[in-house]
Amino acid sequence: MQIQTPDWVKHAIFYQIFPDRFARSKQPRKRLLREARWEDWDAMPTLQGYKGGDLWGIMEQLDYIQDLGINAIYFTPIFQSASNHRYHTHDYYQVDPMLGGNEAFKELLDAAHERNIKVVLDGVFNHSSRGFFFFHDVLENGPHSPWVNWFKIESWPLSPYTGELPANYGGWVGNRALPEFNHDNPEVREYIMEIAEYWIKFGIDGWRLDVPFEIKTPGFWQEFRDRVKAVNPEAYIVGEVWGDSRQWLDGTQFDGVMNYLFTGPTIAFAAGDRVVLEQVQGRDYQPYPPLFATEYATKIQEVLQLYPWEIQLTQLNLLASHDTARLMTIAGGDKPSVELSTLLLLTFPGAPSIYYGDEVGLPGGIDPDSRRSFPLEAKWEEEILNTHRQLIALRQTYPALRTGDYQVLYAQGQLYIFARIGTEELIIAVNAGTSLATANADIPSLRTQPNKVLYGDAEVKWNGEGETQQLSLSVPARSGCILGVG
């Protein structure tokens, strides 16, 4: 079977936005809440407080997003919900009125599409919430409710709020705020398929699927793909699976997953012993212990061998998300760790995803702290922003950085060198060490001798030609470079 994935994703640079925290609209809009008591924008985020970010605010910032070089946005959930993160869905057909409702979303979607920016929504289809109408009916009417077998009811009475009593229904990871759907019920399955189709018809460009591994009903994700792709063959389907995802990436289900198997080793190599362990321990990815270049090369090659190349090119690669601490905090505030990780991200096959604020050095520990409000310009780390701008521009300029083959050329000590090979050849080097690193490497595999420094700082010299060509490359401490053909 020939695997097909959406072509646009191979050329996409994603920006992940947590809608409550990115921007509040500054324009006069018709709102349900006029005198809302939002939390102070710059105060530390809390589990239950709202900052009042909305979709109009995001629309007003599309110039900034576009100027950064972004051409795709992934939104964490936007549907009506009684939580600031909106993973507790009340109504899958209504955009949260606090965000501006369906009208604001349509306006934003059209504005994004006018700029050739794709929009992917978060689909939370494993569980709903206590406020979801069908579950609410069960709470009101008990065993008399017509919706009883839409959920995993175990016995009566249900206790949705009283912690000392058994919930008596299945909730995601035992959380009674998140009643799980009974996906074996054909009515539930059809309901979710229709939601997926509805928003694709509305104009969204894909779905990011929350905890899809929890849905074990045979054929569920195959049908989901068939029905979404029937509406839009170029729609992107990406699953939140943190580990080995081969069972979902066989070409019949997802186009890619959130590639935490790239995230962990990349931070472990670039940040090394600077990683603050309490920010990463007990999480589902391992940015520790520190890795040397040879170990990093091995791990990256293992990741690249897990899936077919067509799938590798549509993986969603990331350094942080709403589910992790932010990179700046993980690295103990060390800017070179952030810059080196970003260089590795933006030169890797697959679609890079930048978590809003990471491009300006926003710190934040494990959630809710990783969900801070986008900072005022006075607090931006301009060097980190410039690094992002430069690297995004280079990725968009050179097709080899997007779809070229990935070949490790040299990995010793803390110096890692690889090539991206397409119609052009580029060499990328990262020195994660604290002193100047020099490589003298025989490189018979390249057709050309990239010697022009496109990014960073390095001394380059080539000796010999063809089978006997040797690269001599010196890279300053805690820095990286990209070489092209001059």
Catalytic residues: 210, 240
Cα separations (Å) of 347 from 147, 236, 427?
49, 21, 10
Tokens for 225, please give them.
């793909």
- Compute the Cα dihedral for 197, 201, 207, 210 and give only its sign: negative
Give the closest residue to 127 by CA, choosing from 157, 170, 162: 170
Tokens for 278, please give them.
């309490």
Tokens for 100, please give them.
């501006």
In whole angstroms, give the CA distance from residue 248 to residue 265. 22
For 221-338, strand residue ranges (E) read: 236-239, 256-257, 316-318
In whole angstroms, give the CA distance from residue 252 to residue 404. 25
Tokens for 37, please give them.
């008591």
Buried b (16+ CB within 10 A) or exposed e, 293-305: beebbebbeebbe
Contact (Cβ atoms closer than 8 angstroms) between residue 220 and residue 250: no
